[in-house]
């Protein structure tokens, strides 16, 4: 099958995206909202519309996004999760061989999507605090710069000057992936009208608790948004996901409660892990990156025997010894710390959440 040879050359040396084990595990590995789905999921859904296509560009959802984020609807476009949004941006704004520059370590889908777009993925290592400067990124001659902020998997919120300096110094597209922005309380969305080269990607998978519905969206200057909507496939979000997303965007109470809970438990979990001998990196997201006091593979297997899943980074050299934990409710904090206490054979100094 010679037609597959070129595809193999581009993909064989890149590991597939993390495949979560199937089973009755407690999920501290995927950064979903452990507090549960948005109540909009339980609201009445008009299943009689299931035989119909949604509007071409999901106009009711665009209107809901505009209202929720206080921008005109013509600034938005939607997709089947923010991964599809990113895939479309790479294919639209990068010619084969052009350079996608990303501070690393970062989200493992970026190089995969770049490879499929035949773009050249250029990882630029951050410093010991996972920070980076605009000049360092621009020194790698990008055609597109991508910043994950807060960054996954480090939890880092980049210096607020970084994006502004990039936008002032670089004429090409600057994409800011804000999948975890709600937990940081910071966003560059107010800049999209001032800088037409700024594109922001967001998702309802995290703070909104709708990961299974696969609703992502992009935000940009109206000229950019119009171009992307013209290029993307029609009917990107199915009618049921759209109906639930519109309801969820109209009701911020669940989201605000979830954010407050996760920010509070993030601090408690960080304190408890530190007391158990972990090095815990500061986080502005709904997870904590840590360096455990024992080997991460050993820790992973011992937690899995307790039906607890956490995330390792076997294919990321800078993080090969690290473990990432998703933050949940108070019960999740107690459950995870209790299991770790049993494994490590030492009580943490202070009962967290007691």
Q: What is the CATH number of the domain that holds 237?
A: 3.40.640.10
Q: Are residues 184 and 331 in the same domain?
A: no
Tell me, yes or no, whether 196 and 261 share the same domain.
Answer: no
96 and 214 part of one domain: yes
CB distance 180 to 284 below 8 Å:
yes
Give the whole-angstrom CA distance, residue 33 versus residue 105: 23
- Which region, left, alpha or beta, applies to residue 157 given φ > 0 means left and ψ of -120 to 50 means alpha? beta
* Residue 50: exposure state from Cβ atoms within 10 A (0-12, 13-18, ≥19): exposed
Instruction: Scan for tokens 């996972």, then name that residue.
Output: 130
DSSP 320-353: TT-EEEE---HHHHHHHHHHHHHHHTS--SS-TT
Within-domain flag for 12: no
Residues 241, 330: one domain?
no
Q: Could you say which of 199, 233, 250 is where a domain stops?
A: 250
pLDDT of the residue at 218: 97
Task: Please tell me what DSSP assigns to residue 39.
Answer: G
pLDDT at 156: 95
Extract the residue ranges of the chain whose pLDDT is less than 50.
Answer: 1, 3-4, 7, 18, 44, 348-354
């Amino acid at each position: 099958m010679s037609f597959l040879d070129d595809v193999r050359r581009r993909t064989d040396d890149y590991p597939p995206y993390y495949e979560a084990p199937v089973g009755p595990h407690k999920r501290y590995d995927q950064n979903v909202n452990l507090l549960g789905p948005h109540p909009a999921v339980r609201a009445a859904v008009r299943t009689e519309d299931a035989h119909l296509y949604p509007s071409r560009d999901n106009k009711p959802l665009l209107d809901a996004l505009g209202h929720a984020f206080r921008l005109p609807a013509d600034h938005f476009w939607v997709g089947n999760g923010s991964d599809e949004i990113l895939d479309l941006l790479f294919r639209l704004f990068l010619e084969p061989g052009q350079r996608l520059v990303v501070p690393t370590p970062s989200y493992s889908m970026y190089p995969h999507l770049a490879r499929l777009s035949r773009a050249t993925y250029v990882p630029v290592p951050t410093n010991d605090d996972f920070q980076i400067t605009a000049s360092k990124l621009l020194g790698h001659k990008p055609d597109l710069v991508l910043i994950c902020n807060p960054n996954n998997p480090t939890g880092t919120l980049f210096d607020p000057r970084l994006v502004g300096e990039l936008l002032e110094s670089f004429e090409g597209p600057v994409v800011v992936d804000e999948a975890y922005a709600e937990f940081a309380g910071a966003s560059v969305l107010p800049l999209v009208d001032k800088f037409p080269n700024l594109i922001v990607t967001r998702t309802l998978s995290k703070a909104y608790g709708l990961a299974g519905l696969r609703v992502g969206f992009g935000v940009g200057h109206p000229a950019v948004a119009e171009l992307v909507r013209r290029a993307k496939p029609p009917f990107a979000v199915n009618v049921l996901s759209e109906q639930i997303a519109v309801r969820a965007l109209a009701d911020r109470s669940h989201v605000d409660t979830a954010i407050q809970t996760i920010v509070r438990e993030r601090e408690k979990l960080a304190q408890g892990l530190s007391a158990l001998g972990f090095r815990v990196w500061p986080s502005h997201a709904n997870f904590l990156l840590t360096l455990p006091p024992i080997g991460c593979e050993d820790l992973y297997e011992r937690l899995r025997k307790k039906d607890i899943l956490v995330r390792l980074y076997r294919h990321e050299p800078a993080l090969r010894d690290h473990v990432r934990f998703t933050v949940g409710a108070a019960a999740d904090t107690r459950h995870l710390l209790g299991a770790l206490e049993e494994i490590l054979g030492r009580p943490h100094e202070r009962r967290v959440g007691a």
